[in-house]
Each structure stands twice: as structure tokens, then as C-alpha cells.
Structure 1
């Protein structure tokens, strides 16, 4: 009986993810065509063939259709950092932890470029973007703290500074990569940004 219930829940979750993905894809296509602010939730719902009310069951806000995937990126960054050797220096560990995200950007360049440009150009998305990036910081700080020496209070301040600077480097690199329409190497841009901060 329990295994049947688990199977049902698994199927429901798969269906939910598929619908979420379909809504997000339709939304991004409309945002790219008409602009984020000019596109309504009603138009997105019509494109998918569901009601606006149903859309809000999958995405609490229109902004989440663009930035919702950033939670997953933060989780992946934290998991990648967790896998790094504990004796690795914070900057080295963070740079390695960012590599899978860079690989995803390159592999899905068209979709990622469109999203990155939208995030940098739509004022309405800035608050949601800052909120998601603040969550990344909270996810990464504990692991970086473990790599530092000193009292817990000092290590926390240092870890927050390092993580904030490292994420600023990542954001700068991705923004510049998007502005170049993917012609510049996002990896080189990240390494240049890190070098500038650390020199």
C-alpha cells in the first residue's frame, strides 16, 4: 500500500514538474517576443491552455517564471561546494563549485542567454533576483566558514565577505557573457573577475 502511495506521489510530482516547465517555456517565449512587463499572466495561461488561476498554482508570481530556476542553481552550487575537499581554500573550492553552473550555461546557451539578458534588463525582476541571490549566499556561507580559522564570529564575517565577492564575480561574468551574446568565454570572464577581486 505504501509503495502505491509513493508511486502516486512520484507521478504527481513528475506531472507538476512537466506543467511547470511548459508554463515557464511559454512564458519565456512570450517575454522574449513582447517583453517581460508587457506580457500578462492571462496571455501565458492562454498560450498553455489553462486558466490564470492554475498558472498561480505553479508560480506564485510572474517574476518566478523567470527566476524560479535560480533556487535550483543555488542548491547545485551548494552541493558542488559540499563535494570539494575540506582542506581546499575557500576561493579555490568556490571556483570549482561554480564550474557545473558554467557548463550548464554553455550547454543551454540560447535559453540561458535569453534569461540572463531579461534579468539584466527588466527592472521588475531585480528584487526577485536579489532575493534569490541572497539565498545562494546563505547556502554557501556555512561550508566556507568550515574552511576558515578563528572564532565563529570572525569566520562568519570572513565567509560572508568571500561568498558575496565570489558571487559578484559570477554575476559579473554571466552578465558580460550575455552582453556579448555568448561570444566571450564565460569561464575566462569569471577567472578575470576573480583575479581582479583577489589582486
Structure 2
């Protein structure tokens, strides 16, 4: 059976596909520079020179240098939210959250050395701290309504702490797992580290 698009999702046209391909190419080159030179030592002009584009072209694809770094996992939060909505209704919210984070874990597992170096760079770079906070804010905004539904709560009720508590716990476990993964030079499986972190709270 053919899977129908969710919501307003539509198949992208040729122009959009070309735009995405160009954006991905520039991003890949920029990330290589970040790894070779350091994030703060790499300028937008450096990225433009390597990619063979002008500054105006760069800003058509990325509002800032931070957005180039974020492009590696820019769709992760949307994928987690989509995966959470697809989990069985009789599954506990905590278990559903763990399974929903599978796409992000798989992303790291598919390119361990590169993903490990980028994660380590993000943790070691103060300029990227705000970027991480923005990602957390997006995570909370997208995930909270579905968690509230699973809890039988009103998603617009700020007096119910449970959805925010679950999200804060899941994000804390993910950060702890990534920190342990970085400390272990990427040799441990991130999925198992995340399981261990989340099991420590649910046990």
C-alpha cells in the first residue's frame, strides 16, 4: 500500500531538489573545514572560497554560520516528533520517547568517526551553546503536545508538569549518553548508552 503524505507534505519539485543538493554540498564542505580548522577559526569567506560561491549565494542557503553546523542534524527533531506520533498508543510515554529517538541514534551510528568528531566539536565550542538551546526549545515545542495527548492531559495546560518533565529527562539522558560516547572516543554504541541512561531513571 502506498503511504500517503502526512499533513501538507508534498513531493518536492526539481528546483527544490536542486536547492537541497546545493545546500548539502556546501554544508559538507563547511563541516570539513570546521573539523580541520576549528569552528571559530573558520569564516564564512573560507566556506565560500572552498565551495566556489559568493557570500550572497551562501546567505541564500544559510542565514548564518551556525546554521551550517546545525544542518547536519537539522531534521532530527522533526523525525523524532514524527516517530513519536507513530508509536503505539498503549506504549508508555517514556518508552515511546526512547524509540522515537531511534532516527537520531541511527544517524550517529551510520557515520561514527565523523559524527563523533562533530559532536565533540559542538561540546567544546562555546559559540554553539546557543544553537543547542534552540534545538532543545524546538524539541519541547514539537514533542510536548503528543506527550500531553498520551498522558490524557491538555497540551495547553501549563499547570501540568509531566510533559515538560519527560522531555527534560529525555534530553538529559541524551546529553549524558552523547557525553559518554564522546568520552569513549565513539567506540561504544550510542544506542546502548542511551538505553542505559534512560533505564537508570525508569528503574
TM-score computed with the length of structure 2 as normaliser: 0.87
Q: Distance in 2 between matches of 1:57 and 1:156?
A: 41
**Deviations 1:149-171 (CA, angstroms, capped at 9, x unpaired):** 45663784211110111121112
- Aligned 8 A contact 1:141 1:159 in 2: yes
DSSP 3-state at the match of 2:185 = coil
**What's 1:57 paired with?**
60
Q: Tell me how far apart the structure 2 counterparts of residues 156 and 178 of structure 1 sit (CA, whole Å).
A: 35
CA distances 1:68-115 after superposition (whole Å, capped 9, x unpaired): 343300000001101101121111111111122212211121331122
155 and 99 in structure 1: CA distance in 2 versus 1, 3 angstrom threshold: farther
Instruction: Report if aligned partners of 2:177, 2:197 keep a CA contact under 8 Å in 1.
Output: yes
8 Å CA contact retained: 2:94, 2:166: yes
Q: Secondary structure at the match of 2:75?
A: helix
2:46 match: 43
- Please give the secondary structure, in 2, of the residue aligned with 1:146: helix
Q: Deviations over 1:108-140 (max 9, x none)?
A: 213311221111011101101110121011111
Q: Distance in 2 between matches of 1:175 and 1:65?
A: 22
Tell me the residue number matched to 1:3: none
Tell whether the 8 Å contact from 1:170 to 1:190 is kept in structure 2 after alignment. Answer: yes
Any runs of at least 4 consecutive aligned residues in structure 1 with deviations exceeding 2 A, and if so which? 68-71, 149-156, 195-199
* Structure 1, gaps ≥5 residues long: 1-5
Structure 2 Cα separation of the partners of residues 120 and 60 of structure 1: 22
SS at match of 1:28: helix
Residue 80 of structure 1 contacts residue 97 of structure 1 at CA under 8 Å; is this kept in 2? yes
